[in-house]
Amino acid sequence: MTARLTIALDVMGGDRAPAVVIDGANIARERFPNVDFLMVGDEQRIAPLLARLPLLQKVSQILHTDKSVSADEKPSVALRTGRQSSMRLALDAVADGRAVAAVSAGNTGALMAMAKLSLRTVPGIDRPAIASILPSQRGETVMLDLGANVACDAENLVQFAIMGDAFARAVLGLVNPSIGLLNIGSEEMKGREELRQAAALLRESPLAAQFKGFVEGNNLSSGTVDVVVTDGFTGNVALKTAEGTAQLIVHLLRESFKSSIWARVAYLLMRPALSQFRNRVDPRRYNGAVFVGLNGIAVKSHGGTDGLGFANAIGVAVDMAMHGFLDKIRGQIAALQATAAEPVSAVSVVP
């Protein structure tokens, strides 16, 4: 029998908490019958919702706190005052082994700050990164960092490649995911010095066979590689641009089909194909960004998602836990350290 997993949920995080979190957990319960939930938040608000869902209630335990982190709270303030918040207690449950992962739709900056403090980083990793999945012509692409680190050096980028490789193996089920560094051109002389240094280090690392060199912005949607590595500033801009482009396409399609009677008739004929297209680019399907590099699994759901989107974020956490995400990162770090010419510190894990 498959061992049962406990996922800690920050039930008070998100624009429509706690209802959306409970709804998402109920959807996830059907998908993952081996999962239990530690519901962290205000029991007076959670219990009535669970009472309406007896099957979910059966696999859930409430950890009460009446404190939560607001959407606009500064990370520094959240660290000082939020030790008993639903967000922090969910992360602490992972740190002390009561849960295998934490999922929150709350304040991103506060979640990152609290996760770094509560879970710490994996030995050999300097900085955690935010990783997520984007749709592409070939299927799905992992991209990181999406905003945790504005500036990165070559060693950071190599570590992101390690974490992206482990993420793609755990969540997408890829055996040897291809890896590329996001740059302004594919030529070796293009880009900043840290990018060229990172490329050189990757070509000499255990990831050399998977590393395909530099990729450009248009390669994100074409799926040229399975894992795209970049700094947090560039990654966040690229992500928001992709999201905006998808929204623009949907908007233009809607306007086009309203333009004439014949366009409306065409819409009726194309309805099945359009439904398939809408499902393919539905942001809820790709909900669940992960703070990779931490000594524990923390998943960030979009704050404005619905139950289906939150269920998908829970699914990401379950996949990472079931497929040994942390062990894969530790194994890659050990392999890099073993190839070093001399002993290395946590700051320098590559030859």
pTM of structure: 0.82
Report the pLDDT value the prediction gives residue 337, as an integer from 0 to 100: 66
In a domain, 234, yes or no: yes
Q: Is residue 173 part of a domain?
A: yes
Q: Examine the domain organization and report whether 22 and 117 are in the same domain.
A: yes
**347 lies in some domain:** no
Residue-wise pLDDT for 114-124, tens only, equals 999 999 988 88
- Give domain status of residue 193, yes or no: yes
Give the integer Cα–Cα distance in Å for 180 and 194.
14
Asked if the model's pLDDT at residue 64 lies above 80, the reply is yes
Give the closest residue to 314 by CA, choosing from 2, 39, 16: 39
Q: What is the per-residue pLDDT for 133?
A: 87
Report pLDDT for 150: 85
Pair (252, 169) in one structural domain: yes
Please give the pLDDT value at position 89.
97
- State the residue range of the domain holding 41: 5-126+287-328
Percent of the chain residues past pLDDT 90, beyond the cut: 56
pLDDT of residue 118: 94
Which region among 227-241, 243-257, 334-348 has the lowest average model confidence (pLDDT)? 334-348
* pLDDT of 276 above 80: no
Higher-pLDDT residue of 152, 337? 152
Domain count, the chain: 2
Asked, for residue 58, whether it belongs to a domain, the answer is yes
Location of structure tokens 């030790």: 83
On whether both 181 and 294 belong to a single domain, the answer is: no
Q: Does the residue 212 lie in any domain? A: yes
153 and 260 housed in the same domain: yes
Q: Supply the pLDDT for residue 340.
A: 52
Q: For 50-77, what is the mean pLDDT? A: 95
Shared domain check, 275 and 136: yes
Return the pLDDT at 246: 78
Q: Is residue 343 part of a domain?
A: no
- Give the pLDDT band of residue 88 (cuts 50, 70, 90): very high
- pLDDT at 350 (0 to 100): 38
Residues 266, 257: Cα–Cα separation, whole Å: 7
* pLDDT at res. 196: 93
Cα distance between residue 298 and residue 303, in whole Å? 15
Same domain assignment for residues 109 and 161: no
Same domain, 27 and 92: yes
Residues 50 and 136 in one domain: no
Quick one: 136 and 255 in the same domain? yes
Distance, in Å, from the CA atom of 268 to the CA atom of 26, rounded to the nearest integer, reads: 34
Taking residues 238-256, report their average pLDDT. 84
The pLDDT score that the predictor gives to residue 115 is 93
Question: Is 345 among the domain residues?
Answer: no
The per-type count for the chain, helices as H runs and strands as E runs, is: 13, 11
Residues 158 and 263 in one domain: yes
Mark whether 266 and 155 lie in a shared domain. yes
277: pLDDT strictly greater than 90: no
| Strand partners of residue 141 | 134
DSSP 29: H
In a shared domain, residues 12 and 115: yes
Query: How far out from the chain centre does Cα 44 lie?
Result: 30
**What are 176-203's pLDDT values in tens digits?**
999 999 999 888 878 889 999 999 999 9
Mean pLDDT, residues 272-285 taken together: 73
CATH code (residue 232) = 3.40.718.10
Better-predicted residue by pLDDT, 299 or 250: 299
Percent residues over pLDDT 70 in the chain = 93
